[in-house]
Structure 1
Amino acid sequence: MMFLPQSRALFTLFPSCKCNGRSSRTITFSVFLGLFLYCCVENEAALVLPNNETIPAVFVFGDSIVDPGNNNNLLTIAKGNFLPYGRDFKYGPTGRFSNGRVPSDFIAEEFGVKDLVPAYLDPKLTIQDLLTGVSFASGAAGYDPITNQLANVISLPGQLDLFKESITKIKSAVGEEKAATIISKAIYIVVCGSNDVANTYFATPIRRPHYDFNSYTDFAASYAQQFLQELYGLGARRIGLLGLPPIGCVPSQRTIGGGKNRDCYDHENELARLFNDKLSGVVESLKATYNLPDTKIIFLDIYYPLLSLIENGAKYGFKVFNKGCCGTGLLEASIFCNPLSIPLSCPDASIYVFWDGYHPSEKAYSILVPTIINMHVSEFF
């Protein structure tokens, strides 16, 4: 049901995409997404923004999926600033939880801003870096306040504080008027929620005895709504909220809850889907509240595109979908994917959907991000 409106958007954006000589309009939707992904990767078409718009900056909030190194100097186990992280990245291990680039980098590239989105807390950050966008994201963060406390990372309210600080710096550099233009015309991406499911609800007894699936997702989504309202209050007008992935299908969660065959952990996926329903509802509520021409708040679905990649990976050159490249690929992530993991790690991460036990590979991101942005680009304008 969630796919139907998206399919119409895809047909509008890519009316003549052909695969193997067949028009995508003649293909049933059960295979459409996979074929669309294939077409986009093969054609590598540049993103054309409506009305020849120019995006001045991309600002990013959330967790390890889009953290390029803000956790590097925190007292936390949620770090990736050592090998084999960054082994396929030209700058080496910067703190990105990947073998290469992460979604925030691909998003900025898709919108024509720049190739890499640096960490706001990078000591080498320049004012030009800041003017074109940074990431405030912190690996292992969540909407649930306890999620951040468990990992000792920067909460979403803490990330907003950093954004407020950055606004002051931008105003000092370019003046009030130019700063207002940058802030209002920028793209804002929020990526969060997976750690609430895997690390807080299922991995600890803190919330589960007091909340069922429905009440917990209501509880966590209320914090998402509060965050988005405050972000809007600071001047953000083009906001993309990324939903949760099929977290039960990532390698570590298969190992933990997938039984002897390491199938997807169905209970986690069920909670993730319900969480996505609540987040989508938050977006619809805010759109109704801020019903202004210059305000665009969009829910971006990652659940089904990533699931399609896992289930149809061979179409894009993937050979392994249930293990990560790092170490044994069964559990390792963060500090457990470290230099000692190098001898056991795969030689070619590009044939793996997942880089480590929790995070997709750069190759997977390079397919997923352009697909998702293309599906929704017109909604930002």
Structure 2
Amino acid sequence: MKLSKPLFFFSFIFLLTTGNPAGVHASAGYNGSKKNGINGLRPTKLFVFGDSYADTGNNGRSVAFSWKQPYGITFPGKPSGRFSDGRVLTDFIVARFLGVKSPIPYKWMKYAPRRLQYGVNFAFGGTGVFDTPFPAPNMNTQIDFLHKLINDSVYTNTDLQSSMALVTLAGNDYATYLIKNGTNEGLSAYISTVVNKLAANMKRLHDLGVKKVSVTSLEPLGCLPRTTVRSSFRQCNDTENMGVALHNSLLQETVARLNSQTADSPYFILDLFSPFITVIKQQKKLKSVEGGRRFETPLKPCCMGVSEEYKCSDVDKKGMKMYTICSDPNAAFFWDHVHPTQAGWRAVYDALKATLHEQVVF
């Protein structure tokens, strides 16, 4: 696939900000009591790697806007480090599908060691498979954190055999490419490099002993509010989504190849692209799962700056809010310029349930 149009489709700001990892030694055990119908057992632990679409609080309070008002107003009622008004994809997968508590963010492990029995969330906002301008650990380093916990006997082989990995990549590597003056001519090759590195990380997780490894496809970047604002939130940018199509196509090929090389076919894709597009196309036909409401203007964020120079959570020198919030976050698909609301993530999760039921069976 050749990309003949200019390199505008990755002209978006980084999805997140930075974090500060910490380590701890604790114990964790296997609880194989959750049955998946008559077919087998569901995982009892989730290990999470990636960026803001999965992060539940690893980024530093002093630098991440996810720790500022009005983030977290729906859940837990105050900022919790999640880049949403409430729960994110990680929370829905564990609570709704696995039936366990959300894994503790890596940064907070020492404060709640008992939560290690449910896994660990290593995802940091602003990260990618490669280094980004933000000092957040890339995906390879995040996997190093898990490797150390294994070496320290925090998790046993039995624990890992009852686990699943969630890997998210929402675009920060491509933003980095743009910032570093990457060319349109070299973009196709760079996308291939990103996908290959992503595949190497997935294989490493399985080699460490993780039973199932899921990876998200890239969401339609051209439909994020930071792009659709140019059309008054009326339409997506098809040019931006061309690059997304190439990434997702290569990812499908790569995951198929990994499974062909592995006896138990442990790798699978959680398709984010299709649910995002479905919500956008159906608009008023699609009901929000929260309160029976509808996403009437799905391309418009609930929380946004009062002008282009401000974003959700910004305040002026006097502490005055420089953002507005919609009357009902449950009726909005997007929370801010790039992240879904809790209701939005619930709609995405509902679309992913069939894949989870089909793929996550021991």
Normalising TM by the smaller chain, what interval?
0.7 to 0.9
Q: 1:231: Cα distance to partner?
A: 1.2
CA distance in 2 between partners of 1:330 and 1:103 (Å): 29
CA distance in 2 between partners of 1:334 and 1:47 (Å): 41
Paired residue type of 1:208: T
Give yes or no for the alignment of 1:71 onto 2:54. no
CA distance in 1 between partners of 2:237 and 2:35 (Å): 35
Give yes or no for the alignment of 1:135 onto 2:105. no
* Residue of structure 2 in register with 1:367 after alignment: 347
2:68 to 79, 82, 92: 82
* Residue of structure 2 in register with 1:351 after alignment: 331
Over 3 Å counting, the alpha-carbon distance change for 1:244 and 1:102 in structure 2 is: same
Paired residue type of 1:70: N
Give yes or no for the alignment of 1:274 onto 2:246. yes
Q: How many residues align?
A: 318
Q: Secondary structure at the match of 1:59?
A: strand
Q: Counting helix residues as a fraction of each chain, which structure ranks higher? A: 1
Please show how residues 194-273 of structure 1 align to structure 2 within 5 Å.
194-197=171-174, 199-202=175-178, 204-208=179-183, 211-212=186-187, 214-255=188-229, 258=230, 263-273=235-245
Range moving further from structure 2, 322-331 or 267-276? 322-331
Whether the aligned pair in 2 keeps the contact of 1:58 and 1:113 (CA below 8 Å) is no
* Residue of structure 2 in register with 1:320 after alignment: 297
1:162 to 145, 148, 173: 145
Over 3 Å counting, the alpha-carbon distance change for 1:56 and 1:299 in structure 2 is: same
Please show how residues 299-318 of structure 1 align to structure 2 within 5 Å.
299-314=269-284, 315-316=286-287, 317-318=294-295
Deviations, residues 58-87 of structure 1 (Å, cap 9, x unaligned)? 1111110000111125x7x55411111111
Identity value in percent:
25
* Residue of structure 2 in register with 1:106 after alignment: 92
CA distance in 1 between partners of 2:69 and 2:340 (Å): 16
Whether the aligned pair in 1 keeps the contact of 2:219 and 2:273 (CA below 8 Å) is yes
* Residue of structure 1 in register with 2:132 after alignment: 149
Whether the aligned pair in 1 keeps the contact of 2:132 and 2:173 (CA below 8 Å) is no
The CA RMSD over aligned residues, in Å, is 2.7
CA distance in 1 between partners of 2:275 and 2:341 (Å): 15
Give yes or no for the alignment of 1:378 onto 2:358. yes
Whether the aligned pair in 1 keeps the contact of 2:54 and 2:90 (CA below 8 Å) is yes
Whether the aligned pair in 2 keeps the contact of 1:86 and 1:93 (CA below 8 Å) is yes
Over 3 Å counting, the alpha-carbon distance change for 1:298 and 1:269 in structure 2 is: same
Q: Secondary structure at the match of 1:273?
A: helix
Unaligned runs of 5+ in 2: 1-33, 288-293
Range moving further from structure 2, 179-188 or 341-350? 341-350
CA distance in 2 between partners of 1:114 and 1:221 (Å): 30
Q: 1:166: Cα distance to partner?
A: 2.6
Whether the aligned pair in 2 keeps the contact of 1:350 and 1:361 (CA below 8 Å) is yes
Q: 1:149: Cα distance to partner?
A: 2.7
Whether the aligned pair in 1 keeps the contact of 2:217 and 2:273 (CA below 8 Å) is yes
Q: Secondary structure at the match of 1:231?
A: helix
Per the normalisation by structure 2, the TM-score is 0.79
* Residue of structure 2 in register with 1:190 after alignment: 167
Per the normalisation by structure 1, the TM-score is 0.76
1:286 to 258, 269, 281: 258
Deviations, residues 149-188 of structure 1 (Å, cap 9, x unaligned)? 312211001101111123245x24x7xxxx2121122111
Q: 1:123: Cα distance to partner?
A: 5.5
Whether the aligned pair in 2 keeps the contact of 1:337 and 1:356 (CA below 8 Å) is no
CA distance in 1 between partners of 2:79 and 2:341 (Å): 14
CA distance in 2 between partners of 1:118 and 1:329 (Å): 35
CA distance in 2 between partners of 1:142 and 1:153 (Å): 9
Paired residue type of 2:98: G
CA distance in 2 between partners of 1:149 and 1:206 (Å): 14
